[in-house]
Amino acid sequence: MKKFFSLFKKNKATGERNTFLLLGAIITGLMLLMVIVGLFYTPYNPTKMDASAKLQGISLKHIMGTDNMGRDVFSRVMYGSRITVAIATFTIIIGAGIGTIIGALTGYFGGIADEITMRIIDAMLAFPSILLSLVFVSLFGTGTYQVAIALGISFIPSFARIVRGEFLRCKNMDYVEVARLQGVSDIRIIFVHILPNTVGVLLSSVMIGFNNAVLAEAGLSFLGIGAQPPHASLGKMLSDAQGYLFNRPSYVISIGVVIVLMVLGFSFLGEGIKRIK
């Protein structure tokens, strides 16, 4: 634990502080806190409308103001972040989960199946991720769950590629050879011996992936084909709020800032972790 905290202190040798790690930890911590607290408590009922309090500015009563139906924006943001985080998490579970399995199997066994899979994956990776998501959304239809699945599938190729690379690197290492000589089964070698060694790489890809998932979900919701009512995600809220940019800029900007902070926290964390070594 002490070692953990020392990461945030000034490095005695170089006199440098890992600002990225510190900022990333603080921002991500605050965001997570907001999501978790939002599960049990919001200052106002996020769906309760109040015709007498439409489009209010920032005040002590409503720290992000109110929306066009008089709902408290901060309460809605707390609620919306939950949806966004949930979809992003689901996306990563599908993408990283299936991607890891594909990458592990193709990387370990190689052969013609590997050739074909990688051809397809390379072709998929050549396309802009938003386009890929749009293809899957149009196949599965719009809706919260469909979007989560569509995003998850479009995240599979990048994870598969990364994990495959790691497996190619590891599969001829001594400890794998030893395990093989001892008669350990391939499946066991893959999941018990090699996979734990790819955790470092996988973890940083998950961080980047999470960010991309948040952005992709927000983008799709913004286009009106992401999470559907009653699941108001941050992207959907932002696109609703955009129309009021001129009457009440604080409404749309505060929602946007929350999205940015969510992404920024993770990207700072990722950058900070890279600089630990």
Partner 1 sequence: MRYILKKVLSMVLTLIVVSLCVFLAFSLIPGDPVTRMFGTEATPELIAQYREKMGFNDPLLVRYFRWFTSFLQGDMGTSYDYKVPVAGMLAEKIPITLTLAVMSFVIMVIISIPLGIYTAKYENGIIDHIISVINQIIMAIPPFFSGILLTFFFGVILKIFTPGGFVSYTKDLHGFLKYLILPAFAIALPKAAMATKLLRGSVIEEAGKDYTRTAYSRGNTTNAVLYLHVLKNAMIPVITFMGMALADMVAGSIVIEQVFGIPGVSRILLSSINNRDYPVVEAIIMGIAIMVLVINLLVDIIYRIIDPRIEVEE
Q: Which of residues 130, 168, 184, 201 is near partner 1 by CB under 8 A?
A: 130
Q: Per CB under 8 A, does 30 bind partner 1?
A: no
Minimum Å gap between C-beta 169 and partner 1 is: 20
Burial, 236: exposed, middle or buried (Cβ in 10 Å; 0-12, 13-18, 19+)? Answer: buried
Q: Per CB under 8 A, does 137 bind partner 1?
A: yes
DSSP 63: T
DSSP 136: H
Q: Which of residues 115, 245, 274, 276 is near partner 1 by CB under 8 A?
A: 245
Burial, 152: exposed, middle or buried (Cβ in 10 Å; 0-12, 13-18, 19+)? Answer: buried
Q: Per CB under 8 A, does 117 bind partner 1?
A: no
Q: Per CB under 8 A, does 223 bind partner 1?
A: yes
Q: Per CB under 8 A, does 128 bind partner 1?
A: yes
Report how far residue 26's alpha carbon sits from residue 43's, in angstroms, rounded to the nearest whole number.
22
Q: Per CB under 8 A, does 251 bind partner 1?
A: no
Select from 29-37, 58-66, 190-198, 221-229 the region that touches partner 1 (CB under 8 A): 221-229
DSSP three-state, residue 96: helix
Minimum Å gap between C-beta 132 and partner 1 is: 9
Q: Are 190 and 105 in contact (CB under 8 A)?
A: yes
Burial, 115: exposed, middle or buried (Cβ in 10 Å; 0-12, 13-18, 19+)? Answer: exposed
Structure token pair of residue 27: 């921002």
Q: Per CB under 8 A, does 43 bind partner 1?
A: no
Q: Per CB under 8 A, does 208 bind partner 1?
A: no
CA distances from 99 to 104, 164, 204 (A): 8, 9, 15
Q: Per CB under 8 A, does 259 bind partner 1?
A: yes
Residues that bind partner 1 (CB under 8 A): 20, 119-120, 123, 126-131, 134-135, 137-139, 141-142, 211, 215, 218-219, 222-225, 235, 238-239, 242, 245-246, 249, 252-253, 256, 259-260, 263-264, 267-268, 271
